[in-house]
Amino acid sequence: MKSEHWHTLHINQGIASFAQERIFLDEQMRFSNKIAIYNELTALKIIQGSISIDRLLEAIGYILNKHKILRTFLTFNNDNGILEQHIDNKHRIFQLVPNQTFKNENELQDILYQAIINPNLFDLSTGLVFHCEVLRQEIISNNNDTNNRFITDSDILLIAFHHAATDRSAYQLFLNDLCFAYNTNVKWTELKDYDFEHRLSLSTDQHCLCNDQRSGIASIAQISFDKNISKSFVNYVSTHQTIPFQLGMALFYIFLFKLTQDQNDLCISCHNANRYKTELQNIMGMFISTLPYPMKLDSNRSFNELVKQVQDKCISILEHSHYPLQNILTDIHADQYNVSFLQTVFDFITRSPDIDQLSFDDVNVKPIELKQSIEIAKFDFMLTFIYNPMSNDDMLSCRIVCSHDLFEDMTVTKIARRFQYLIERLFSMDFNINQTNILVSPITKLSLISPEEVYEMERIVFFRQPDTMNEGKYMSLISPALYAQARIWLDERIRFDSKNPQVAIYNMPFLHRLSSGGTLSISKLRQALQHVLIKHSALRTSLYFDTNKNILMQKIIDHTDNKELFTFIEGTFETDEDLNKIMHSERGNPNNFNLLIGIVCRCHVVYYKNISQKGIICEKDALIFNFHHTSFDFSSIKMFRQDLDQVYTMGYLANDDNITLRYLGYAVAKQQIPMTVVNAFWLDALHDCEIDRPLQLSFDRHRVSDEYRTGRGISISFQFDNDLSKAFLTYASTYNIKLEYLALASYYTFLFKLANTENDICIVMNNHGRSKPELMSIIGMLVNVLPMRYQINSNHSFNEFVKHVQTIATQTFEHSYFPLQRILAQHPHISRPTILDVFFEFVSFPTDDNHNEVTLGDVPIYTMPYSIQINTGEIANKFDFSLSIIHDTITDQLTCSIEASLNLFNPSTTYEIEQ
């Protein structure tokens, strides 16, 4: 009988084998589902040495890819009464089952027996037919992360199969393949951990899916580098023993890394000539292959180190460049039309001098360069270097071709300008630039901000607006409200119940006590306060919503009728408890202000025991100045006290009316600031961020979608001991980290653990908004709220993590002048941005400021610590959860305050979190 060679049929489904059918039916019909009978188990004990779990997982991945039976599921077709088998081709990353531990041999045998009879170990209907876990002996088990990545002496490697997938003859084949894959460190594909459907977070103007049809219309930008840059590029190639292609690719990786806000897991595609045989060199035909180039960038590595990494990557890939792309995609179970890396392409063209030297007999011909507009966009984003070694004037150039379906022409032009600036920084021959330092510094420190964009940011200098010179004119008294004002005004009405408010969230009372022997005249104080409000129009500004323009407007209240522009009240107290209750009312009473008529400031004189009949304030009395936050921020209090002291003492305010920036002028100027650069930054920073998904903290209750906040919260404070404070400051100093960013990184870590290892965390911080000197003399609300997003890589060390947090935070604060409303407007589909619910604050000041002595006239008065308490044990609370860290610059002591909403957290839960 002639032997016939069998060939694979390349099918993914079919009728189950007789053996599979027998096992399947036997398990269903003859036995109870409470016990398993077909769990086949092998346990391997480590005698000496250690096995790397990471390499073991790679080896198992190879086995599962090779042996399709280990990812085959069985289903019974009720229509035809046939048991069918289907190969699961979904790309899944195998993970070990969490470790179990045993103390002795008896416990080990019990674990093995339970695995043999466990009816939930496998599921034939989903293809779960293979199981692997590590059993660790308890006496030597520890929580060291390093040891947990290895299987060591006395540990057990448990491997199990369902009998429907293998028989005993297959065990040795499996183990042989597993050992071979582990020993040779076989990587079935370097792409197995790459998310193929996740596209790079580039600054696209429109959104398209990978499988959406493209028009082919291109947005193109051309860059030509001067002689010095081109020469420096070539010199780098020579001195670092690389080739232009590899250097160009390294530049492209860095460029994508920075464009995508430090996304370090990158994969692009390149075209390879694929004529690896000599006999292919002179054949006409289509041989080009497309190859994926995956790369994981370490942000702490230098540019020089990255070039070497790219060089090694290119060499390893070119060894297998003949392998067809279709086979690569098949091996990794990827759909060619839904693979993101095929849309991001790098190319490097070296011009041959022979191209420009063609002749037919005595007739010379020369190629004509095609116009850019003729080019078709085959890919979403393509960068091509053109290197012409024979040209002196145009040796090195670059072309960026993007799909117009995604990128506007202006966007591509800006992207190209940033790339040009990056290369000019790296290869500049300017003696003022420390080239060596740039090339050996971490790539995360490189910047894409072009000189034009720097100029745009530096232009944000405010000046007095011409239309505010004569405040007697009605039109000059009105302008759109500031973004900060509108944010607070809307917050009071949307997140909190403005019709039936329980607690005022944005009252800002400041308590003062007179020093021994001092007295103040009430009439002089009221006159001085009136003068301060006349000068600082923010303190006499009403807010109203213009329904015709659909915008919040502000109007300065006229002061020509000598009507008092603030609320003045008097009261008494006998004990500190009485005074505390008065302060609680100032802080929490929602009726203290009326924004519609411009009453945003109040003065409350609290006399000790009896109201003064002589019109004076004495040493035991208290003085409270209270402001609404729409017109006043913490930076304003210093200017307020200075001006109040000056007018109380001198009877007038010295003021150069021609140069002093008015609040209304600032409001007009703020609306006119160019925002092109910063708009692109925030689009990138929050790309793919689920800003409406709340962090899953340890809530005791959950808020329904239409539920208002009450504004009631609890605050718990604790102090770091001296050793911990010193260690914290020493770490920051040693690693050159700002204290604020080290504290922020610690908070991210805390939330990461508190929210069950949620790795994409976005919270908010405040920025004082006074980056320009001319803003320091303004009283008003200039604070902006900044989303602070960080995507945690749990494999990073804490040192790496902190440095990366500092980089992201620095970039964020550089773009802090973009209003929160405009950030949120970039996400119009989001109705409730929950990222605003978790807050962080770091404050650094000397403890003396808590009881800072200021003067009013010649009378010293003491500013008492600012408080947000509304009654004993409760505070006014704007956020679901917040952390404030205070650094005392005199004692170098650190104090933490955790605040939580009582709508969501019980006090006991907050105490547990604090612990």
CA proximity to 166, closest of 38, 5, 258:
38
Query: Which residue would you say has higher pLDDT here, 386 or 433?
Result: 386
Confidence of residue 664 (pLDDT cuts 50, 70, 90): low
**DSSP-H helix ranges across 552-633:** 576-588
pLDDT in tens, 459-511: 544 444 444 333 333 334 788 888 888 888 888 877 776 677 778 888 999 99
Mean pLDDT of the region 341-370: 66
Confidence of residue 342 (pLDDT cuts 50, 70, 90): confident
Q: Which pair of structure tokens corresponds to residue 56?
A: 């073991």
Q: What is the 3-state secondary structure (H, E, C) of 193-240?
A: CCCCCCCCCCCCCCCCCCCCCCCCCEEEEEEECCHHHHHHHHHHHHHC
> What was the pLDDT predicted at 248?
94
Q: Is the pLDDT of residue 821 over 80?
A: yes
> What was the pLDDT predicted at 464?
44
Confidence of residue 189 (pLDDT cuts 50, 70, 90): very low
> What was the pLDDT predicted at 343?
83
Confidence of residue 551 (pLDDT cuts 50, 70, 90): confident
**Is this structure's pTM higher than 0.85?**
no
Q: Is the pLDDT of residue 28 over 50?
A: yes
CATH 3.30.559.10 in the chain, residue ranges: 13-183, 466-667
Mean pLDDT of the region 304-316: 91
> What was the pLDDT predicted at 507?
92
Domain 224-444 in CATH 3.30.559.30? The answer is: yes
Mean pLDDT of the region 77-100: 77
CA gap 125, 128 in Å, rounded: 8
> What was the pLDDT predicted at 476?
45
Residue pair 536/565 in contact (Cβ under 8 Å)? The answer is no
Provide, rounded to the nearest whole percent, the portion of the chain with pLDDT above 70.
78
Highest mean pLDDT among 235-244, 392-401, 453-462, 544-553: 235-244
Mean pLDDT of the region 773-796: 86
Mean pLDDT of the region 372-378: 64
Mean pLDDT of the region 626-651: 90
Q: Is the pLDDT of residue 725 over 60?
A: yes
Confidence of residue 697 (pLDDT cuts 50, 70, 90): confident
Confidence of residue 42 (pLDDT cuts 50, 70, 90): confident
Confidence of residue 199 (pLDDT cuts 50, 70, 90): low
Q: Is the pLDDT of residue 363 over 80?
A: no
Phi, psi values for residue 484, rounded to 5°: -65, -40
> What was the pLDDT predicted at 237?
92
Residue pair 69/88 in contact (Cβ under 8 Å)? The answer is no
Residue pair 60/182 in contact (Cβ under 8 Å)? The answer is no
Confidence of residue 431 (pLDDT cuts 50, 70, 90): low
> What was the pLDDT predicted at 34?
79
Residue pair 879/715 in contact (Cβ under 8 Å)? The answer is no
Average pLDDT of the chain?
A: 80
Query: Which residue would you say has higher pLDDT here, 289 or 420?
Result: 420
> What was the pLDDT predicted at 331?
76
Number of H helices, E strands in the chain: 22, 36
**DSSP-H helix ranges across 654-774:** 663-671, 676-685, 722-734, 739-754
Mean pLDDT of the region 620-648: 91
Question: How many C-alpha atoms does 675 have within 13 Å on its Cβ side?
Answer: 16
Confidence of residue 75 (pLDDT cuts 50, 70, 90): confident
CA gap 468, 470 in Å, rounded: 6
Confidence of residue 307 (pLDDT cuts 50, 70, 90): very high
Residue pair 375/220 in contact (Cβ under 8 Å)? The answer is yes
> What was the pLDDT predicted at 788?
93
Residue pair 801/783 in contact (Cβ under 8 Å)? The answer is no
| Side chain identity at residue 486, one-letter code | A
> What was the pLDDT predicted at 560?
73
CATH of 466-667, one of 3.30.559.10, 3.40.50.300, 3.40.718.10, 3.30.365.10: 3.30.559.10
Question: How many C-alpha atoms does 224 have within 13 Å on its Cβ side?
Answer: 8
> What was the pLDDT predicted at 834?
86
pLDDT in tens, 115-172: 888 889 988 888 888 899 988 888 654 555 556 778 877 788 888 888 788 766 566 6
CA gap 431, 685 in Å, rounded: 34
Mean pLDDT of the region 95-113: 85
Highest mean pLDDT among 344-353, 372-381, 557-566, 641-650: 641-650
> What was the pLDDT predicted at 749?
93
> What was the pLDDT predicted at 473?
35
CATH 3.30.559.30 in the chain, residue ranges: 224-444, 675-914
Mean pLDDT of the region 414-427: 89
> What was the pLDDT predicted at 252?
94
Highest mean pLDDT among 695-699, 785-789, 864-868: 785-789
Provide, rounded to the nearest whole percent, the portion of the chain with pLDDT above 90.
21
Query: Which residue would you say has higher pLDDT here, 340 or 815?
Result: 815
> What was the pLDDT predicted at 94?
73
Q: Is the pLDDT of residue 857 over 90?
A: no
Mean pLDDT of the region 588-592: 90
Phi-psi region of 615 (alpha: psi -120 to 50; beta: other; left: phi over 0): left
Confidence of residue 905 (pLDDT cuts 50, 70, 90): confident
Q: Which CATH architecture has domain 13-183?
A: 2-Layer Sandwich (3.30)
Q: Is the pLDDT of residue 337 over 60?
A: no
CA gap 406, 215 in Å, rounded: 10
CA gap 564, 139 in Å, rounded: 79
> What was the pLDDT predicted at 660?
46
> What was the pLDDT predicted at 286?
52
Q: Is the pLDDT of residue 448 over 90?
A: no
Q: Is the pLDDT of residue 744 over 80?
A: yes
Domain 675-914 in CATH 3.40.50.800? The answer is: no
> What was the pLDDT predicted at 104?
85
